């Protein structure tokens, strides 16, 4: 009877250790997946910032061309003397 109890405890301990090992592996995989996701989001955010910056610079350049004073955008007519 005592041998059966010890065997049962040993099996329960081995199963518990196996479950803890699987849980630790799962947590490691989940942490790695979160890290990859965060890296991807950072890259996407940086790409978005670069695209926005390029758009803003292009827009400012266009407005700069449209808002030049007349004297800069057209040559001055010769004097009428």
Q: CA dist 9 to 2, 6, 52, 53, 61, Å? A: 11, 5, 63, 65, 77
The lowest-confidence range among 2-6, 39-43, 46-50 is: 2-6
Average pLDDT for 1-22: 94
Confidence tier at 29 by pLDDT (50, 70, 90): very high
42-80 pLDDT tens trace: 999 999 999 999 999 999 999 998 888 765 556 666 777
d(CA 2, CA 47): 67
This prediction has a pTM of: 0.59
State both tokens at 62.
């266009």
């Amino acid at each position: 009877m005592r041998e059966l109890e010890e065997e049962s405890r040993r099996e329960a301990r081995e199963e518990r250790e196996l479950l803890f090992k699987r849980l630790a592996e799962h947590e490691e995989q989940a942490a790695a997946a979160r890290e990859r996701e965060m890296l991807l989001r950072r890259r996407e955010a940086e790409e978005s910032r670069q695209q926005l910056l390029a758009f803003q610079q292009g827009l400012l350049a266009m407005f700069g061309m449209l808002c030049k004073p007349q004297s800069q955008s057209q040559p001055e007519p010769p004097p009428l003397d």
